[in-house]
Amino acid sequence: MSETERSQLYEFSGGDVTLWAEAGEPIMLKSLDSVGQCPVELTSDEARDLAAKLLELAEWCDRT
């Protein structure tokens, strides 16, 4: 996780899934595997972690 006052970045599944947002901007989600293909497979634990971070990021966006 990387975080500043103006932006946040999270990576999952070895960097295959990336979430980020900047203050006042929409949440961005990128999912590409190591060879540039979609879809990216997530374990159930990774899916729960991703869902939790999406909620956390949405709340952060609401506050900025």
Digitized pLDDT (tens) for each residue of the chain, 64 residues in all: 445 578 888 888 888 889 999 888 899 999 887 788 777 888 999 899 999 999 999 999 898 8
Identify the pLDDT of residue 12: 86
Is the peptide bond prior to 39 cis by the omega test (within 30 degrees of 0)? yes
> Is-contact 10 1, C-beta < 8 A?
yes
| Every domain of the chain and the residues it spans | 2-63
10, 34, 43, 1 alpha-carbon torsion, rounded to 10°? -10
